[in-house]
Amino acid sequence: MRSTVAMVVLALVGGCGRAEHARLGFGRPATTEEIRAWDLDVMPDGTGLPPGSGTPSQGAEIYGRKCAACHGRTGVEGPFDRLVGREPRQGFPFGRDPRLVRTVGNFWPYATTLYDYLNRAMPLTAPGSLKPDEVYGLVAFLLWRNEIITDTAVMDAQTLPRVVMPARARFVVDNRRGGPEIR
Amino acid sequence: MENAPLSRRVLLASVAGAIGAHALRKAGVAQVAGSAPPSQVPDPTKVPGAPLSELGRRSPFERPRRIPVGGAQGSSLAPLQDLCGIVTPADLHFERHHAGVPAIDPSRYKLLIHGMVERPTVFDLADLKRFPSVSHLYFLECSGNGGAGYRGARPDLSPQLIDGLTSTSEWTGVPLATLLREVGVKPGAKWLLAEGEDAAVMARSIPIDKAWDDALIAYGQNGEAVRPEQGYPARLVLPGWEGNTNVKWLRRIEVADAPFMTREETSKYTDPLGDGTARMFSFAIDAKSIITFPAYPVVLPEPGWWEISGIAWSGRGRITRVDVSTDGGRRWTRAELQAPVLPKCHTRFRCLWNWNGSETTILSRAIDETGYIQPTLEQLRAARGVGTYYHFNHIRTWRVRRDGTVLFGLEG
């Protein structure tokens, strides 16, 4: 109410000011096509996953062609981020041991994140170039290599959100609040 | 000007330090690696000066440089020891990119806001600039900053190599709250996804309360357009929150009722703790400080009066106090805070010190308006574990040796 009054007053006197405004009407409505073209995120409940599917063996073939040069033949050799490895399986001791390497299998809390990330950012030299079946295949390959799904499991919009990652329960919300306590 | 010769000698020491402390004894200012200042400068009162120019340049005697580490996916560190005051020149602002710096034509730039909103809307750059604008000085900091000083630290680390992933700018833009009012947020909305237009299409989930509080979509930095490395033509600025959430080259905001769990908030930018958990959404930067002078590679040429200087900052508000110790932490002196002391912004502190020439350790600790006191390394390790990652805000210490060299030291 107050803001409306302020705007009316400004309009009447033709002056200028710093009114708290409700809407100024700049910008234009987004089209459905624009939103669809950019809306590529995938949420843990599967929202955003497209049609398509892939298996570990299909993914293995793509991995060899498009990923192995950076992440190693089996996902452990590098030179870039190590993707495969379940050790250590007990205790989640990453905060105690700085030598431990965080991988998809021992650290990533959500399987859907794999789809989201590979689809938006990989491979490094051709980001955004993978088709849905390729992404599903690569996700399936990495989950299989990390001993999270079987070698015949099919990953698609229904099965991927149901995959429970080993480290999922280890993630907690930030409890720092300022004040004298060191957390 | 009694101390002018001292200042000059410190300057020489600092500049020469860029090529190694030991080089000071051999090298004068004219021999700094890679630079080419005039070898013979005539008496400037006896020759006409240089003409006007369209674009200013630094003095050829000044050569501050970032240190890039890791190529297009890496970061570059700002030369904290070469800066004064609190504002970082835009071309020295630290960088952190996940897939390089994108080239974006501002005439084609679009910001899409959609999801749980009444009116999904596209704003172009002119739209953003037409909204009522605000300008604020805020620091930005990569949450990995300080990691080099947390474990296995080398003594030959400069302020730049320890804490160079933080910078302060005056950011100008439109409050995100203005845009949210414009598009109309639906009931039940709790999070938003902020996504960049780089080759990583870098994306982070942000609690919507931050948007209503002080989030900004910035198109201006220190009086000019945001630099490409800092998100040209428009970026998100979330005051006090870890750098990664301040999404650069912002192209899309999706409003939702839950976080999206992107890679950068799950496998990265989560803090493994000593108790076998990992902290998610650890947004705020806790209070910290670092002495930037005297610090490696500076060499103090003689005992006597020296002004200890540094920066302090907190993502939770204003710095209220900085204590400095020149005896390894036994006694603390309250440093002078240089105005302006602004919330979520670097604060310059200073403390005059009469060095008696004996070996000692100097250190600083920041206190913010929440009463948080910058912890010691031992306190932080006890709270989070030696293997933790991100948000390394422990006290930084410098060992001043009898020969005037200053080395980074973990212990007091």
Is pLDDT above 90 for A14? no
Instruction: Point out the residue among A26, A39, A93 whose CB comes nearest to the CB of B123.
Output: A26
The closest of B298, B307, B400, B408 to B357, measured between CA atoms, is B400
The structure tokens listed for A44 are 């843990």
Average pLDDT over residues A87-111: 97
pLDDT band at B46 (very low <50, low <70, confident <90, very high): very high
Pairing of strands B278-280, A171-173: parallel
Mean pLDDT across the stretch B21-37? Answer: 41
Name the β-bridge partners of B325. B363
CATH domain B288-409 topology: Immunoglobulin-like (2.60.40)
Percentages helix, strand, coil for chain B, rounded to the nearest 5? 20, 30, 50
pLDDT exceeds cutoff 60 at B13? no
The answer to whether the CB atoms of A29 and B272 lie below 8 A apart is no
- Angstroms from A109 CA to nearest CA on chain B: 7
CA dist B288 and B286 (Å) reads: 6
pLDDT at B11 over 50: no
- Residue B232 is predicted with a pLDDT of 98
| pLDDT 10s digits, B365-379 | 999 999 999 999 999
Of B319, B243, B309, B331, the C-alpha closest to B288 is B319
A40, closest residue in chain B (CA to CA): B201
Q: Which residues contact A7 (CB under 8 A, 6 or more apart)?
A: A19, A21, A22
C-alpha dist (Å) from residue A67 to A99, A118, A131, B140, B263: 25, 10, 15, 33, 17
B286 interfaces chain A, CB cutoff of 8 Å: yes
Give the residue on B whose Cα is nearest the Cα of A121.
B200
B44 by DSSP, 3-state: which? Answer: coil
- Has residue A42 got a pLDDT over 90? yes
The pLDDT value given to residue B36: 66
- A-chain residues near B273 (CB < 8 A): 95
Query: Would the pLDDT of B212 be above 80?
Result: yes
Judged by CB atoms closer than 8 Å, whether chains meet at A174 and B279 is answered as yes
CA B323 to chain centre: 20
Closest CA to B194 of B206, B186, B184, B183: B206
Tokens describing residue B50: 């240089």
Domains and their CATH numbers in chain A: 41-170 (1.10.760.10)
Residue B241 DSSP class:
B
Q: Give the tokens for residue A50.
A: 């497209």
DSSP E strands: which ranges in B66-165?
67-69, 75-77, 95-96, 111-115, 121-123, 134-141
For CATH 3.90.420.10, list the domain ranges present in chain B. Answer: 95-270
For A106, which residue in chain B has the nearest alpha carbon?
A: B267
Structural tokens at position B213: 């509080």
- Residues A173, B281: C-beta atoms closer than 8 Å: yes
Which residue of B110, B273, B285, B378 is the best one to mutate when testing the A interface, meaning the one whose CB has the most A CBs within 10 A?
B273
Quote the CA–CA distance of A167 and A169 in Å, as a whole number.
6
User: CATH 2.60.40.650 occupies which residues in chain B?
Assistant: 288-409
Q: Report whether pLDDT(A2) > 60.
A: no
pTM attached to this predicted model: 0.92
Which of B178, B261, B377 to probe by mutation at the A interface, max A CB count within 10 Å? Answer: B261
ipTM above 0.85, yes or no: yes
Residues in chain A: 183
Contacts of B113 in chain A (CB under 8 A): 30
Token output for B42: 């005539």
Q: Do A29 and B121 touch (CB under 8 A)?
A: yes
Tell me if B280 and A127 make a contact (CB, 8 A cut-off). Answer: no
Q: What percent of chain B has pLDDT over 70?
A: 91
Q: At B6, is the pLDDT very low, low, confident or very high (cuts 50, 70, 90)?
A: very low
Helix (H) or strand (E) run with residue B408 in it: strand B406-409
Nearest-Cα residue of chain B relative to residue A126:
B199
Please answer yes or no on whether A30 and B266 come within 8 Å at the CB atom: no
Most distant CA pair in chain A, distance? 74
Q: Which chain B positions have a beta carbon within 8 Å of A95's beta carbon?
A: 271-278, 384-385, 387-388
Q: Considering chain A, what is the average pLDDT of its residues? A: 92
Nearest to A96 among B182, B266, B274 (CB): B274
SS3 call for B312? strand
Average pLDDT over residues B352-366: 98
Look at residues B116, B118, B117, B120 and name the one whose alpha carbon lies nearest to residue B258: B116
8 Å CB contact between A43 and B258: yes
Q: Which of A82, A105, A91 shows the shortest CA–CA distance to A163?
A: A105
Which residues pair with residue B167 across a beta bridge?
Answer: B140
Query: pLDDT tens-digit profile of B282-316?
Result: 999 999 999 999 999 999 999 999 999 999 999 99
- Cα atoms in the Cβ-side hemisphere of radius 13 Å centred on B109: 27
| Assigned CATH topology for domain B95-270 | Sulfite Oxidase; Chain A, domain 2 (3.90.420)
Q: Cβ atoms within 10 A of the Cβ of A132, count?
A: 17
Confidence band for A16, pLDDT divided at 50, 70 and 90: confident
B203/A92 CB distance under 8 A: no
Q: Is A117 in contact with B281 (Cβ distance < 8 A)?
A: no
Q: Hey, which residues 156-185 in chain B have their CB within 8 Å of chain A? A: 178, 181-183
Contact A121 B252 (CB under 8 A): no
Which residue from B176, B168, B177, B178 is spatially nearest to B221, judged by alpha carbons? B168
* Three-class secondary structure assignment of A43-106: CCCCCCCCCCEECHHHHHHHHHHHCHHHHCCCCCCCCCCCCCCCCCCCCCHHHCCCCCCCCCCC
Confidence of residue A125 (pLDDT cuts 50, 70, 90): very high
Name the average pLDDT for chain B.
92
Mean pLDDT along residues B314-333: 98
Among the partner-chain residues B119, B262, B375, the one whose CB lies closest to the CB of A182 is: B375
Query: DSSP secondary structure string, B354-399?
Result: EE-SS-EEEEEEEEETT--BPPPHHHHHHHH-TT--S---PPPEEE
Residue with tokens 């996940």: B98
- B127 in reach of chain A (CB within 8 A): yes
Surface of B (328-387) touching A: CB under 8 A: 368, 370-373, 375, 379-380, 382-387
Nearest to B147 by CA among B398, B350, B394, B407: B394
